[in-house]
Chain A
Amino acid sequence: GNSVTQMEGPVTLSEEAFLTINCTYTATGYPSLFWYVQYPGEGLQLLLKATKADDKGSNKGFEATYRKETTSFHLEKGSVQVSDSAVYFCALRVTGGFKTIFGAGTRLFVKA
């Protein structure tokens, strides 16, 4: 079956620290991979995506590379800000499929 596993949180970092949130997946077929972010009191927003192997998605300083050989899509940012504090969800959708499968979410706290 299709599933997404991401690192448990919360992750607490100081401002300007380097961020990595690990995400691995299991999928039948060729999935598209996504990172969503949920700020306090708000809905999910698409942060970035990659649709095929070796693609790199990037947005707002965040990056993630679709690694088929390791079935991973780790989220990285070189220098986090307090405003990045949120819950981050890794997700996949099989090509042609309707359903989006989510990981459990990782809460990030960034201290000033």
Chain B
Amino acid sequence: GAVVSQHPSWVICKSGTSVKIECRSLDFQATTMFWYRQFPKQSLMLMATSNEGSKATYEQGVEKDKFLINHASLTLSTLTVTSAHPEDSSFYICSARTGQNTEAFFGQGTRLTVV
């Protein structure tokens, strides 16, 4: 299957700093990418959907200014957690699809710890 790579796999940052997470589709062009957040022992919660070249669509309750998403090319989307706080500590996972009814491929996730 297609490969989606996330970087970094884990990151520790100080409270108040910003962290950028990258999601790359390595061998296909992803018209749509999704960002999820997973709390311990809980389900994946969709944060936002991004289409290449347009603004991301955020789910209700997700702060746009806090979680900045950029999908500048068909192979790269980035999630920037701005002014991170300990409550932002979580596991973030991206997925990518080539079209509306195609399979979604997932990255390996990024564990963010804010201290």
- On A, residues with C-beta under 8 Å from B are 4, 36, 41-46, 89, 95-96, 98-105
Query: Per-position contact with A for B1-12: 1 when CB-CB < 8 Å, else 0?
Result: 100101001000
Residues of B within 8 A of A95 (CB): 101
User: Is A43 a contact of B43 with CB atoms below 8 Å?
Assistant: no
- Of B61-69, B70-78, B82-90, B102-110, the segment with at least 4 beta carbons within 8 Å of chain A is B102-110
Residues of A within 8 A of B95 (CB): 44, 100
User: Is A102 a contact of B43 with CB atoms below 8 Å?
Assistant: yes
User: Is B49 a contact of A105 with CB atoms below 8 Å?
Assistant: no
User: Is A41 a contact of B108 with CB atoms below 8 Å?
Assistant: yes
Is B79 interfacial (CB-CB < 8 Å)?
no
How many B residues are at the interface, by size bracket? 20 to 34
Residues of A within 8 A of B36 (CB): 102
- On B, residues with C-beta under 8 Å from A are 1, 4, 6, 9, 32, 34, 36, 41-44, 46, 49, 93, 95, 97, 100-101, 103-109
Residues of B within 8 A of A45 (CB): 1, 106
User: Is A43 a contact of B104 with CB atoms below 8 Å?
Assistant: no
18 additional A-B residue pairs with CB within 8 Å, beyond A44-B106, A98-B97: A36-B106, A43-B4, A43-B6, A43-B106, A43-B108, A46-B1, A46-B104, A95-B101, A96-B100, A98-B49, A98-B100, A99-B46, A100-B104, A101-B46, A102-B36, A103-B43, A104-B43, A105-B41
Alpha-carbon distance between A105 and B38 when the two chains are bound, in angstroms: 10
User: Is A104 a contact of B32 with CB atoms below 8 Å?
Assistant: no
Which of B97, B100, B106, B107 has the most chain A CB atoms inside 10 A of its CB? B106
User: Is B108 a contact of A104 with CB atoms below 8 Å?
Assistant: no
Smallest Cβ-Cβ distance to A98: which chain B residue: B49
Q: Smallest Cβ distance from B14 to chain A, in angstroms?
A: 25
Alpha-carbon distance between A100 and B96 when the two chains are bound, in angstroms: 12
13 A-B contacts (beta carbon < 8 Å): A36-B106, A42-B108, A43-B6, A46-B104, A95-B101, A98-B34, A98-B97, A100-B104, A101-B46, A102-B36, A104-B43, A105-B42, A105-B43
